[in-house]
Amino acid sequence: MKRINNKKARKRYKPPTMDDVAELAGVARSTVSNAINDTAPVSKEVKERIFKVIEELQYKPNNLARGLRSNRTQLIGLIIPDINNPFYSEISKGIEKYMNQKGFSVVLCNTDYDLAQEKKYLDKLIQVNVDGLIFITGEQDLNLIAEIHEKSNTRIVFTDRSNSFNNDIPIITIDHKKAMKDMTKYLIELGHKNIAYISEPTSMKTLRDRLEGYKEAFRETGISINNSLILIESVLQTNKIKRGYEITSNFLAQSPLIPTAIITTSDLLAIGAIKAIREKGYRVPDDMSVTGFDDIETASYICPGLTTIKQPLSKMGTLSAKVLVELINGNPVEEKQIILEHQLIARESTCRVKQK
Amino acid sequence: MKRINNKKARKRYKPPTMDDVAELAGVARSTVSNAINDTAPVSKEVKERIFKVIEELQYKPNNLARGLRSNRTQLIGLIIPDINNPFYSEISKGIEKYMNQKGFSVVLCNTDYDLAQEKKYLDKLIQVNVDGLIFITGEQDLNLIAEIHEKSNTRIVFTDRSNSFNNDIPIITIDHKKAMKDMTKYLIELGHKNIAYISEPTSMKTLRDRLEGYKEAFRETGISINNSLILIESVLQTNKIKRGYEITSNFLAQSPLIPTAIITTSDLLAIGAIKAIREKGYRVPDDMSVTGFDDIETASYICPGLTTIKQPLSKMGTLSAKVLVELINGNPVEEKQIILEHQLIARESTCRVKQK
DNA sequence: ATGAAAGCGCTAACAT
DNA sequence: ATGTTAGCGCTTTCAT
């Protein structure tokens, strides 16, 4: 409203209201409402008359008014770190698709892993009166979540990760510890002993779990762990590929011990790592095997195809959405923790260790 | 509302309203409104009192009520084909970021290139009372758009593409014809003559323009075009990499003439193409150069690095958002067509043609 | 500078 | 089965 002085003001088109429909159909407004929402029986003839008028007028209920009255906006919030990361975009796509089918609209919130942003979005979404929200993040402020959970109309579902399972917010994820254990054992079975581990920050529970899985695999096979091969990022950030490249580059440049395999905690990290490895003159997988995590689409198309852990991303999205809709509809959700199956996908980026 | 029979009904927390604030501050509701929105002068003392109460009560204005009254929801719609495609997700990220800064929330709509879905989303967004929307699509129903433009409160901005420039809807894009001409000439200068062209459907104007650029490059350099090397997809679809792989695979299997270079209309297509080329036993770029389009992040990390046309994706998003906000604020937008600069990025997937 | 009052378009409780 | 009525929480005249 800063400038009203643009002469070409848009002609204010007034869309038809429920009153218009009621009048033209010769019934009361509440009858129209009942006809539309099936909230009370309406005779067949009246119904027909009403829907004819609706068709003629191209009447569309005003969601704002509806929401104000009924406390239901058919809006849900989606808080994710980075929509430009295929891991999140694929989950998001699943969520959006399901929600759209169920008549909800999805408000997208991109945090760039910033805790302050998360808080701001949380506030914003409440103010938008979303019926619920799906939260994918590592660094949640649990107090804040609890407060929201209690003080607003908003239902919450976590996807992929949560820092604690001690509340009753549903979470859809996989068994990260098991997954990484599978991967590590797979490499060990290929004869690898010096296996580097490049991880995003273990401030996130999923990543703590994975590290645990890595270690457990060593323990169970009786191979000793070399801590100098474990590299943990300290800060969450968006440019995963670049970070994978940098970490690996630095590591290879200074480590006295060159591993025969590198495990990373995401496909993007792995893509960066492979580039760094090659630049140092090593071949993948002949000199060094590399593994990713997630199984994003590109993982199977890059060269060499990336050995990785497949997370059912789309399904995770769909399920999260489904659970949230149940919650919104007031249906009880028995299973608070939904743990989906992962799968080790062996491609060309890993091979049996060569004679040393 | 299907089942009310879950006993564990949530305790209905009632957030404070503007009336609560007014009462506690000992002023009229309208004064609170004026204080918050700066819509009329309010004395300093009263203002302080009001904001103190707001802080205490943790009062947040209800957007629904606000929107119902003022016809402003601070919601905008984003209609895109595929959030899981880095091209769109990067633009989307730019849009979301800018909009968030400006106090808007973004409603995400993913069409999967389906025209019917686009229509549904358009309706839905109007019903949600978005203040405006950004539309990225090839197959828009122009009548529908015109209708919306006229009959709703909704402002529209196109990003990347539009089938016609004959209306006054702003569009943010690059010069696709020029871009593809640049790329083609670049290959010609490297000595290539038999350059295949793999394109997504030319039902989209941007892709018609690019094809035109390809042809013009040949014309201007006096090299004859071989139509059997031009392959146009007939249907828009999401799985670009897979399609790139299939098209290239089929083409190489049956074409009597094997080109020394392949131009594709997107990086994803190129990634698929490279895989197919290798499977047929050719090397990239030694036997066959390959080019992409867009310059998504992975383009520089795959092996070989992909020669491509850089589109300023993030900027396109930001600018689209900016224009839309101007429109919403009633500010005149002089420049309806914003054509941004592209850039040819030469990487390792192309090289000088070898002696034949 | 502040207050009173109307009403945005709808749902829901109640009455008929 | 249908109508009447009272708000939901806010912005926006219009008075004062």
Nearest residue of chain B to residue A325 (CA atoms): B1
Average pLDDT, chain B: 91
- Summarize pLDDT for A162-197 with one digit per residue, the tens: 766 556 789 999 999 999 999 999 999 999 999 999
CA distance B22 to B20: 5
CA distance A74 to A72: 6
Same domain, A143 and A155: yes
pLDDT at residue B5, as a whole number: 29
**pLDDT-derived band at B1, boundaries 50, 70, 90:** very low
In B6-35, the residues whose Cβ lies within 8 Å of chain A are: 6, 8-9, 13, 15
Structural domain including B117 reads: 74-174+313-340
Number of other CB atoms surrounding residue A1 within 10 Å:
10
Whether residue B332 and residue A301 make contact (CB cut-off 8 A), yes or no, is no
- Summarize pLDDT for B151-172 with one digit per residue, the tens: 677 899 999 977 665 567 899 9
Nucleotides of D under 7 A from a protein CB: 1-5, 7-14
> In the complex, which nucleotide's C1' lies nearest to the CA atom of residue B68?
C8
pLDDT at residue A249, as a whole number: 97
CA distance B126 to B115: 17
CATH of the domain at A191: 3.40.50.2300
> Residue B135 domain-assigned?
yes
- Name the residue with the least CA to C1' distance from nucleotide D8: A69
Same domain, B136 and B182: no
The token duo for B104 is 């808007």
Residue A56: is its pLDDT beyond 70? yes
In A55-84, the residues whose Cβ lies within 8 Å of chain B are: 60-65, 67-68, 73-75, 78, 82-84
CA of A50 to C1' of C10 (A): 17
Residue A41: is its pLDDT beyond 70? yes
Q: Please, are residues B272 and B241 in contact by the beta-carbon 8 Å criterion?
A: yes
H-helix or E-strand containing A327? helix A313-328
Whole-number Cα distances in Å, B288 to B36, B261, B280, B281, B341: 64, 5, 11, 11, 28
Please tell me if residue A3 touches chain B, with a CB cutoff of 8 Å.
yes
Same domain, B206 and B291: yes
**pLDDT-derived band at A48, boundaries 50, 70, 90:** very high
CA distance A220 to A180: 13
Whether residue A302 and residue B303 make contact (CB cut-off 8 A), yes or no, is yes
CA distance B99 to B93: 10
> Residue B325 domain-assigned?
yes
- Summarize pLDDT for B8-55 with one digit per residue, the tens: 334 456 889 999 999 999 999 999 999 999 999 999 999 999 999 999
In B269-328, the residues whose Cβ lies within 8 Å of chain A are: 271-272, 274-275, 278, 297-298, 301-303
Whether residue A241 and residue B301 make contact (CB cut-off 8 A), yes or no, is yes
Q: What is the average per-residue pLDDT within A248-273?
A: 97
> Residue B181 domain-assigned?
yes
CA of A260 to C1' of D11 (A): 68
Please tell me if residue A228 touches chain B, with a CB cutoff of 8 Å.
no
Q: What is the average per-residue pLDDT within B254-267?
A: 97
Q: Tokens 């004859």 correspond to what residue? A: B224
Same domain, A137 and A226: no
Q: What is the average per-residue pLDDT within B104-118?
A: 94
The token duo for B193 is 């003559």
Same domain, A274 and A230: yes
> Residue B264 domain-assigned?
yes
Same domain, B198 and B144: no
Average pLDDT, chain A: 91
Same domain, B98 and B201: no
Residue A54: is its pLDDT beyond 90? yes
Q: Please, are residues B47 and B27 in contact by the beta-carbon 8 Å criterion?
A: no
Same domain, B226 and B287: yes
Mapping DSSP to helix (H, G, I), strand (E, B) and coil, where does residue A312 land? coil
CA distance B208 to B220: 18
Of A354 and A194, the one with more pLDDT: A194
Same domain, B160 and B83: yes
CA distance B7 to B14: 20
Q: What is the average per-residue pLDDT within A237-245?
A: 93
Same domain, A135 and A146: yes
CA of B295 to C1' of D10 (A): 47
Whole-number Cα distances in Å, B330 to A3, B106, B138, B152, B166: 7, 19, 27, 15, 21
The token duo for B243 is 């399609």
Mapping DSSP to helix (H, G, I), strand (E, B) and coil, where does residue A97 land? helix
pLDDT at residue B159, as a whole number: 93
Cis peptide bond N-terminal to B304, omega within 30: yes
Same domain, A118 and A234: no
Number of other CB atoms surrounding residue B30 within 10 Å:
12
> Residue A249 domain-assigned?
yes
Q: Check residues 23 to 62 of chain B and report those whose beta carbon is under 7 Å from nucleic acid strand D.
A: 29-30, 33-34, 36-37, 39-40, 59-62
> In the complex, which nucleotide's C1' lies nearest to the CA atom of residue B44?
C1
The token duo for B199 is 């394109």
Whether residue B68 and residue A82 make contact (CB cut-off 8 A), yes or no, is no
Please tell me if residue B44 touches chain A, with a CB cutoff of 8 Å.
no
The token duo for B278 is 């290798």
Q: What is the average per-residue pLDDT within A197-220?
A: 95
Whether residue B152 and residue A128 make contact (CB cut-off 8 A), yes or no, is no
Residue B218: is its pLDDT beyond 90? yes
Please tell me if residue B37 touches chain A, with a CB cutoff of 8 Å.
no
**Alpha carbon A13 to chain centroid, angstroms:** 39
% of chain B surpassing 90 pLDDT: 78
* B355 DSSP assignment: P
| Any strand D atom closer than 7 Å to A43 CB | yes
Q: Please, are residues B251 and B273 in contact by the beta-carbon 8 Å criterion?
A: no
Strands B155-159, B337-340: pairing is unpaired
The token duo for A295 is 């199984």
Identity of the residue in A8, A108, A241 whose CB atom sits nearest the CB atom of B297: A241
| Any strand C atom closer than 7 Å to B29 CB | yes
Please tell me if residue A93 touches chain B, with a CB cutoff of 8 Å.
yes
> Residue B78 domain-assigned?
yes
> Residue B256 domain-assigned?
yes
> Residue A347 domain-assigned?
no
What DSSP string runs through B4-60?
A: ---S-PPP------HHHHHHHHTS-HHHHHHHHHT-S---HHHHHHHHHHHHHHT--
CA distance A225 to B65: 60
What DSSP string runs through A113-170?
A: T-HHHHHHHHHHHHHTT-SEEEE--SS--HHHHHHHHHHSS-EEEEES--S--SSS--
Nucleotides of C under 7 A from a protein CB: 1-14
Q: Please, are residues A183 and A263 in contact by the beta-carbon 8 Å criterion?
A: yes
Looking at beta carbons, which residues of chain B come within 8 Å of A63? Answer: 127-129
Considering its fold, how many domains does chain B have in total? 2
Q: What is the average per-residue pLDDT within A75-91?
A: 96
pLDDT at residue A2, as a whole number: 28
pLDDT at residue A162, as a whole number: 74
Same domain, B132 and B240: no
| Any strand C atom closer than 7 Å to B68 CB | yes
Give the residue from A88, A93, A148 with the most B CB atoms within 10 Å of its CB, the best one to mutate: A93
Strands A75-80, A132-135: pairing is parallel
Give the residue from B37, B60, B89 with the most A CB atoms within 10 Å of its CB, the best one to mutate: B89
pLDDT at residue B147, as a whole number: 74
Whole-number Cα distances in Å, B306 to A199, B41, B134, B289, B316: 27, 59, 30, 10, 22
Number of other CB atoms surrounding residue B276 within 10 Å:
20
Whether residue A274 and residue B15 make contact (CB cut-off 8 A), yes or no, is no
**pLDDT-derived band at A355, boundaries 50, 70, 90:** low
User: Burial letters for A293-319: b for 16+ Cβ neighbours within 10 Å, e otherwise?
Assistant: bbbbbbbbbbbbbbbbbbbbbbebbbb
% of chain B surpassing 70 pLDDT: 93
